[in-house]
């Protein structure tokens, strides 16, 4: 069920009122209503998908007790490996079977064997990439003794099936989520208002900016040979804003809905296009995924410690896994590899782990050095998005080859002035409020007439655009 539909609105109103009216004095009722809401929401896609989610969740729930109750670390590890096998096995089967099969067939033919293999028509369960990592964080954290396994099945299932995050994240860790639902949530007016504003901003980014940008981007990508290099360059830039507004828009809605339920989850984006380096970009883009990879992959490999060669190895492993996680295409693997290459200069200069605050802190504008770094980082990221957006490696090579041809210096086919104005509005709004969790947090310091005028203007604009454009969230593919 898409967040931006009348069905979801009616579902959420019913769930929200039940949650706060029936569960206002008892967190057991709150959690039961939340769980029912989670299951109803996910069942809208497919009862088969729901069965897969519940089956793997129940297995993890009981394996966590096996991990906890065995002081023998080798035996506890067996239960942990069972959880990894179940979750990663399901992910590989549903997401990667048809990707690896042709490669395996080609390998067998190369060594003189003939295999009767057949590609299956397998539907990808919605959100499996996200909830797989979320559930694995629970069993791994139990094994590492970061969290005690919960005895309450409803509590665990609320975590494993949480409807605001189940389809496209953010990827929550049990150490953050479960303590919040183990206690009674009391209605917080300020948190709810902030959540509603974050939802409004997220819907605006998705419907008004991302979906409008998609019209131009889709047209250019479907006719690569017919366009000049300058047009392809411009489309690549606009796609950068499309994917940002699409995915961060979803995340804003997810975080906002959670706030309405009295639950705080990871804010998945922190103005990434104002980053001054690739490492800073990855601390601000898809924060929950990179945090997961840092905690459960990068640090166990040795993290940023040891020789530079080991740090480089660990970085490549993390980003190639990130690419594979995104999709079963070589374009995603190449995209992950490219981002690891981008990080090499920072690793060699030992400045890849430095904490960073936002650009031009306490200033209106960046200095020349910061501006150059922001623009160059954005262009590097944009080049990477060409691989991400392309349907194949061949298509990506065609795109970049044509983009860097002499036609790069010809006049481009321009998008509508509307999308340009919308992107300018986005950049200015986010730059001014880059110290805030989201741009609409600034509204509270203005008078009531300005605040409500701003809200209603956004709502009217969203309604106008909803009648013309309605695309699924990009990350539903993953």
Do 160 and 252 belong to one domain? no
**C-alpha closest to that of 236 among 66, 379, 441:** 379
Q: Which of 185, 215, 233 marks a domain boundary?
A: 185
- Residue spans of alpha helices (H) in 92-188: 97-110, 128-143, 153-160, 174-181
Do 214 and 88 belong to one domain? no
Do 51 and 134 belong to one domain? yes
Taking the C-alpha atoms of residue 316 and residue 313, their distance in angstroms, rounded to an integer, is 5
Name the residue range of residue 229's domain.
Answer: 190-276+356-477
Q: Which pLDDT score is estimated for 357? A: 84
Residues 6+ apart with CB under 8 A from 351: 277, 279
Do 134 and 203 belong to one domain? no
Do 105 and 34 belong to one domain? yes
Q: Which pLDDT score is estimated for 99? A: 61
Q: Which pLDDT score is estimated for 359? A: 85
Q: Which pLDDT score is estimated for 451? A: 83
Tokens of residue 270, six digits: 């922190």
326 is catalytic: yes
Tokens of residue 81, six digits: 């490996």
Taking the C-alpha atoms of residue 401 and residue 395, their distance in angstroms, rounded to an integer, is 10
**C-alpha closest to that of 377 among 226, 448, 271, 449:** 271
Do 221 and 262 belong to one domain? yes
Query: Is the CB of residue 175 less than 8 Å from the CB of residue 257?
Result: no
Taking the C-alpha atoms of residue 150 and residue 62, their distance in angstroms, rounded to an integer, is 10
Q: Which residues of the chain have pLDDT under 50?
A: 120
Do 15 and 104 belong to one domain? yes
Do 167 and 228 belong to one domain? no
Q: Which of 185, 212, 232 marks a domain boundary?
A: 185
Do 360 and 395 belong to one domain? yes
Q: Which pLDDT score is estimated for 267? A: 94
Give the 3-state secondary structure of residue 300. coil
Taking the C-alpha atoms of residue 32 and residue 19, their distance in angstroms, rounded to an integer, is 9
**What letter does residue 47 receive in the DSSP assignment?**
H
Percent of the chain with pLDDT over 90: 76
Q: Which pLDDT score is estimated for 118? A: 55
Structural domain count, the chain: 2
| Inside any domain, residue 116 | yes
- What are the CA-CA distances from residue 367 to residues 18, 80, 274, 360, 378 (Å)? 52, 50, 13, 7, 16
- Per annotation, catalytic residue among 326, 352, 433, 446: 326
pTM of the model: 0.92
Q: Which pLDDT score is estimated for 317? A: 96
């Amino acid at each position: 069920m898409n967040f931006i539909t009348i069905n979801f609105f009616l579902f959420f109103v019913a769930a929200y009122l039940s949650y706060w009216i029936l569960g206002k004095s008892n967190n057991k009722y709150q959690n039961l209503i939340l769980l029912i809401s989670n299951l109803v929401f996910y069942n809208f896609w497919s009862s088969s998908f729901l069965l897969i989610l519940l089956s793997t969740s129940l297995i993890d729930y009981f394996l966590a007790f096996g991990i906890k109750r065995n002081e023998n670390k080798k035996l506890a590890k067996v239960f942990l490996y069972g959880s990894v096998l179940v979750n990663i096995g399901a992910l590989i089967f549903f997401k990667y079977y048809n990707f690896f099969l042709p490669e395996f067939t080609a390998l067998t033919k190369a060594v003189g064997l003939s295999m009767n293999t057949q590609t299956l028509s397998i539907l990808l369960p919605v959100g499996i990439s996200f909830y797989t990592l979320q559930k694995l964080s629970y069993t791994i954290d139990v094994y590492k003794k970061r969290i005690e396994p919960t005895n309450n099945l409803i509590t665990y299932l609320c975590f494993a099936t949480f409807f605001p995050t189940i389809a496209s994240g953010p990827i929550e860790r049990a150490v953050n989520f479960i303590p919040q639902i183990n206690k009674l949530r009391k209605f917080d007016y300020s948190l709810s208002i902030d959540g509603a504003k974050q939802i409004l901003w997220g819907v605006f980014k998705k419907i008004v900016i991302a979906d409008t940008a998609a019209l131009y981007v889709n047209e250019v990508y479907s006719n690569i040979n017919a366009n000049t290099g300058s047009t392809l360059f411009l489309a690549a830039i606009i796609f950068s804003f499309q994917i940002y507004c699409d995915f961060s828009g979803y995340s804003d809605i997810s975080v906002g809905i959670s706030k309405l339920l009295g639950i705080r989850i990871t804010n998945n984006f922190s103005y990434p296009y104002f980053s001054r380096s690739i490492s800073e970009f990855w601390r601000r883009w898809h924060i929950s995924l990179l945090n997961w990879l840092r905690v459960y992959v990068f640090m166990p490999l040795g993290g940023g410690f040891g020789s530079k060669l080991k740090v480089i190895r660990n970085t490549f492993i993390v980003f190639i896994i990130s690419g594979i996680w995104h999709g079963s295409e070589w374009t995603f693997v190449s995209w992950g590899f490219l981002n690891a290459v981008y990080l090499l200069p920072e690793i060699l200069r030992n400045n890849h782990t430095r904490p960073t605050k936002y650009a031009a802190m306490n200033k209106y504008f960046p200095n020349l050095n910061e501006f150059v770094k922001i623009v160059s980082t954005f262009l590097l990221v944009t080049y990477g998005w060409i691989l991400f957006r392309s349907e194949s490696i061949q298509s990506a090579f065609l795109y970049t080859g044509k983009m860097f041809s002499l036609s790069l210096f010809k006049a481009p086919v321009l998008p509508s002035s509307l999308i340009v104005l919308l992107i300018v509005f986005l950049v200015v709004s986010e730059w001014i409020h880059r110290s805030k969790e989201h741009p609409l947090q600034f509204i509270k310091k203005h008078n009531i007439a300005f605040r409500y005028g701003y809200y209603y203007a956004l709502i009217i604009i969203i309604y106008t655009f909803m009648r013309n454009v309605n695309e699924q969230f990009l990350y539903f593919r993953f």
